[in-house]
Amino acid sequence: MDAVPVLPDVVDLTKRLIACESVTPARGAVFDTLEAALVPLGFAVERFVAGEAPDGPVENLLATRGHGGPHFAFAGHLDVVPPGNGWESDPFAPQVRGELLYGRGAVDMKGSIAAFVAAVARLPLNRGTITLIITGDEEGPAIFGTCALMDRMAQRGLKPDFCLIGEPTSVNRLGDMIKIGRRGSVNIWIDVPGRQGHVAYPHLADNPIPKLVAALAEIDAIILDQGTDWFQPSNIAITDITVGNPATNVTPAKATARLSIRFNDLHRGDDLAARITAIVHRHAPNAVVTPRVSGEAFVTEPGYLSTVISDAIEARLGARPELSTTGGTSDARFLHRLCPVVEFGLTNATMHKLDEAVAIDDLYVLTDIYADIVRRVLQPTSA
């Protein structure tokens, strides 16, 4: 007789993933661990590396089980942000203290990946397809991660009907919030050249600071909008001003600044970049303005997918989640081009912080909910 695969335990798998140091961009051992959990469950696993330094190389994993429709995808990332100093225990040596499991990536988002694997392990696949879209480059520039996976899926003709992303969307308790959209993001670097000179002879110099300050004052006064039905107001943040002038009697040769704009679906990133560029050039015609749009705003209008997820949460926890578009960006900014996308995962109170931790009970409950979501979408028959 064929051996029956041992179903993965969500806490054990979370621990094994945490134990793999996978600061972005991630490769190697953490993907080995995930692949080893997926293959016994009948998944065909493809791994590939994309990109070069400084933003790569990045490893990605595409795992598929079943055939035909419906096609349900789960997306996530195995890379983590640097742990920093001051942890009570080694951030890559998972440790249980009381009711919590500590380690970098516990909630963002190795725990939810483990929960999804443990969830689908329970389900016979008598109908439909399940795909895992897992990158090692969400916390970084995200250039060679999910976009490369989407290209590979297009080459293979894989197009999901629905996608769940396991980002930590819950706020005060598991299941209190899911994300149905995200604001867009554009970062802009401004370099204003000048001509260095002695402060006593301003006519022989060209001080770039007043030009930059005037441009930033006009930019800071902008009110982009008042928000929309699903989005909070867009905002512009000045995140850095640098001159680097150690002398008290010299005007500098250059002044620089950086902006970050988070915007709703009333705007496009390129249009905002053009508006900022025009303002800067009015005050400093020779300035160099370099924008980078990292994602456009999108919303998955409430419908089938958000209802299925909300129903599964309510069935297990007794309350429906809030539908939200708050927070930063995620790989949903790319994946929404494939199909309807909703994000739901663990509580986010400790993500990116020292002593990141997940409640052990939440890992088991999330596994239950994920299993119910997939079951509701694929409607498998009894084994």
Q: How many CB atoms lie within 10 A of CB 2?
A: 4
Longest Cα pair distance anywhere in the chain, in angstroms? 92
Residues in CB range of 337: below 8 A, 6 or more apart: 150
Strand partners, 238: 259
Residues in CB range of 86: below 8 A, 6 or more apart: 354
**Cβ atoms 182, 238 nearer than 8 A:** no
Of residues 59, 79, 265, 331, which has the active-site annotation?
Answer: 79
- Assign 3-class secondary structure to 82-103: CCCCCCCCCCCCCEEECCEEEC
Q: Would residue 138 show up in a list of annotated catalytic residues for this protein? A: yes
Q: Would residue 270 show up in a list of annotated catalytic residues for this protein? A: no
**Cβ atoms 136, 26 nearer than 8 A:** yes
Of residues 137, 138, 139, 343, which has the active-site annotation?
Answer: 138
First to last CA, the chain: 18
Instruction: Output helix, strand, coil percentages for the chain, rounded to the nearest 5.
Output: 30, 25, 45
Residue 187 Cα to chain centre, angstroms: 16
Residues carrying an active site annotation: 79, 138
